[in-house]
Structures are given as C-alpha cells and as structure tokens.
Amino acid sequence: METITIYHNPRCSTSRKALELLRAQGVEPKVVEYLKTPPSVRELEAIARASGEPLRALLRTKQPEYMEQGLDDPKLSDDEVARAMHATPVLIERPIVVGPKGARLGRPVERVLEVLG
C-alpha cells in the first residue's frame, strides 16, 4: 500500500476527525505536524498541483497573519504565497491528506477519502 500523509494539527477538531476517519478505513498515515515541521515551498506547490486546486485554496485567510503579510494581494505569485505559508505555517489550511490519488483538503472531512488507493 502506498503511503498516505496527513498534514495535521492535533489541536484542530477537523484535523483529528480526518485522522480518525483514515484510521477507521484501516489506514495508518504518516502524520506530519506541519506547525512543527512545515512543508517546503516546493512541497506546498506540489500538494496544490496534486489537489487540482490553486495554491491559495490551501491558505487560511481568516488568520490575522494573512492580512498582516498582505497575502490578500492578488498580484502575489504562487511562489511568494508558498514562501509565506512555509515561513508562517499557521497560514496552512488543515487537514491536508496526500495519497496515491492526489491531495485533498479535508473540508468537509470526508474529502480525504478521495485520495485513498
């Protein structure tokens, strides 16, 4: 079986539910606590590509840091946005699950099942 990775925040109830849902399917994913170990700029860009969504779909726009860093500027490149997300991982939406069928943001949480092989 291919590796399933969850970018997880244990303090987030949705992230905990996604992890429980994966385990209920018999999947023991690689758990990355992204606040402690943020994905690299390239990893963030790859996750966005695998999700089929724009990089900005993985951005937490309700965080104060979003406005503080001017990330609402549509002229910012994906590289600039990814660098901000890597440097300030609280800006990364959660949970994100990566599997053999791509990547999904677990909102709603059941979407994570779409990436299982």
Active site residues: 12
Nearest-angstrom CA–CA distance, 72 and 28: 36
Listing DSSP states for 53-83 in one string gives S-GGGGB-TTSHHHHHTTTT-TTS-HHHHHH
What single-letter amino acid sits at 92? I
66: number of Cβ within 10 Å: 17
Q: Is the peptide bond before 95 cis (omega within 30 degrees of 0)?
A: yes
